[in-house]
Chains A and B, each alone.
Chain A
Amino acid sequence: MSPMSAMPPSPRSGHVKPLVPESPVRRPVGRMRLAAVILRAGVRSQLANRADFAMAIANGVTYQVTVLLFATVIFGRFPSLAGWGVGEVLLINSIRMLGHGLYMLFFGNLGLLPHLLRDGRFDAFRTRPAPVLLQVFTYEAPVNAVGDLVVACASLSVCLSLLDVEWTVGMVAFLLAAVVGALVIELGLNLHIAALVLRFRGSESLFFWLDSVSGTFGNYPLGLFPWVLQGAFTFVLPIAFAGFYPAAWLTGHADTAPFSAALAFAFPAVAAALLWSGLAWWRRGVAFYARNN
């Protein structure tokens, strides 16, 4: 007799309605455990090929170092940018890059959505008893985020050595909140793009566009740009809240910030609103996908 024929009846089957237990990943602890299991397995598999692992980290480092080198060139020619010194500008840079590195570490797989859709993996996620978004976030170990974070930490340490600021507990808490805010703002914006990708396949390049715009404009004082861009980065694509506005308060530049000094404290509200809106867009995007694909 074949072993499978001896397989006992499924405890969830039979001639009655099967029991459908609640999946452990519905609980936050279960979700964290699942994320940890996948990340551990992913890191293990990437470590199996040392060259791949090193390249993944090097990619993250290279990209962020390029951004920093460009900033160094700018500072070489202009020691002060819109009244901001080198250390102060580096603080904008550090907040944004730390937020970005953490985003890449925990949620960066969202950028793989087009690939997951094309390969049919997104459909497989929807046949499992776990939140689809969680399965997207934990699809593979984001090793190159380590590179992003290494450069971000280096940038922050250089910036702290240059800054003439007396750090109080409140300021340190504000800085940490700003980093988390930058992470949530990037997550919120990318969720909007992911929802668009679920509707229009051609919109996947928006992921790269957002990354490029943030890397190009998000590292500098807003006062450098014409008023149209100042308005765009504050009210339309609010990347200024993921670096510039919180850094303006920490460095004493809030009074000269465009529009209002109060905007320096608005980043938690902006982050929360973007996350809420991004999740709502995502849910509607998934429903659209289920009706049309």
Chain B
Amino acid sequence: MSAPPPAIRVDRVTKTFRSWESTEGRSWKRPFQRRRARRTAALSEVGMTVETGEFIGLLGQNGAGKSTLIKVMTGLLLPESGTARLYGLDPYADRERNAHTMGVTFGQRTQLWWDLPAHDSFTILRDIYGLPEAEFRATLTELNDVLALSSFWDTPVRFLSLGQRVRCDLAAALLHRPPLLFLDEPTIGLDVLVKDQVRTLLGDLARTGDHTIVLTTHDMAEVEALCRRLVVIDAGRVVFDGERGELAGAAHHRRTVVVEFETPPGPLSLRTAEVVSADGTTVHLRPHPGAEQRQVTDELLSAHSVRSVVFDGTKVEDVLRTLYARRPETAAAAAPTGGPA
């Protein structure tokens, strides 16, 4: 008996987009001059394998190629060369069959019916996916328990706030209980409370070991809370594919905490962090390796009157900057772009 195919297999995928070179200067001939076409690589020979149950963070700067890769994996975009397979199926050619196995969200773009209440959208999706009524109701109840949807799901989607809409979109993507989730920046622009709700849901799904989740985000706290494996894309290439600790640890020494005390705190001695500098009521700290944000905050609040605590260097961009700073070794480590088995 052959081994089951992995949840996702991307093999040497290349995708380019055509753009036109603009001609210099002003001339009446300009509209009649032939412009030269130029092809920009969005993905170059990208490869990775994601097994069932993995939760991976797909990271990269804006324009690095993350969304293009998600579009290729979901069958929305055809690569020029290479292949993408979901459970062994071609996501473009087997679009309708694949749709049963995956749930997708696209950042702030809603896939709900704009003029209808969100609950009506759920009902329509129930019919599209052919869900039995009892299964549909049970899933919706569970989603409502985590995302607190019922207070606004009778409101037309166009009147929902961003946070409410994102929660409804996430519920819509999960209604048919897909084993494979593609979440393209699902928490962008959300407030802390809604972010927490979304993270709780994703964490719960990951713990079942039953869901394969691909998450793109710019929030390092989210990555640290959820993803064990990270894939970093830069200029269309995979420049890192490995365990989260390896990459997050690399950036750790850059992380600082800016604390604003009510009154000058005097000489500080902390278990979780060292003092970098102090100026009146403002103190810069660097957490010790292994110290979590919560532990640092707890220690500060338990012994001092603190006006604010700001963690710096917690964005994905900070980690990426660190990665690029040590690029020669990283590039060497990431040279074979196939994912771990």
Contacts and interface: CB of A to CB of B under 8 A. Distances in A.
Nearest to B201: A4
Contact of B177 (A10, A16, A20): A10
B104 interface: yes
A28 interface: no
A46 B113 CA distance: 13
Interface string B9-22: 00000000110000
A284 to B, nearest CB: 13
Given A23-B130, A119-B109, A45 B156 contact: yes
A292 B129 CA distance: 28
Interface string B258-270: 0000000000000
Given A3-B146, A4-B142, A41-B123, A14 B52 contact: yes
Contact of A139 (B17, B71, B113): B113
B204 A5 contact: yes
Interface residues of A, number: 51
B129 A5 contact: no
A283 interface: no
B242 interface: no
Contact of B127 (A4, A14, A33, A140): A33
B331 interface: no
A201 interface: no
A25 B207 CA distance: 33
Given A7-B208, A290-B92, A123 B115 contact: no
A124 B105 CA distance: 8
A120 B106 CA distance: 8
Contacts of B99: 23, 127-129
A2 interface: yes
Given A5-B204, A17-B4, A126-B95, A23 B100 contact: yes
B83 interface: no
Contacts of A131: 96
A291 interface: yes
Nearest to B104: A127
A23 B104 CA distance: 18
Given A129-B96, A129-B99, A10 B178 contact: yes
B165 interface: no
Interface in B123-160: 123-125, 127-130, 139, 141-143, 145-146, 156
A24 B208 contact: no
A121 B141 CA distance: 26
B78 interface: yes
Interface in A110-143: 119-121, 123-124, 126-131, 139-140
Contact of A121 (B4, B111, B127): B111
5 contacts: A3-B141, A10-B211, A41-B120, A41-B124, A290-B76
Interface of B: 4-5, 17-18, 52-53, 71, 74-78, 87-89, 92, 95-102, 104, 106, 109, 111, 113-117, 120, 123-125, 127-130, 139, 141-143, 145-146, 156, 177-180, 200-201, 204-205, 207-208, 210-211
Name the 8 nearest CB pairs between A and B, nearest first. Answer: A13-B179, A124-B111, A120-B109, A4-B204, A129-B99, A24-B130, A10-B177, A3-B145
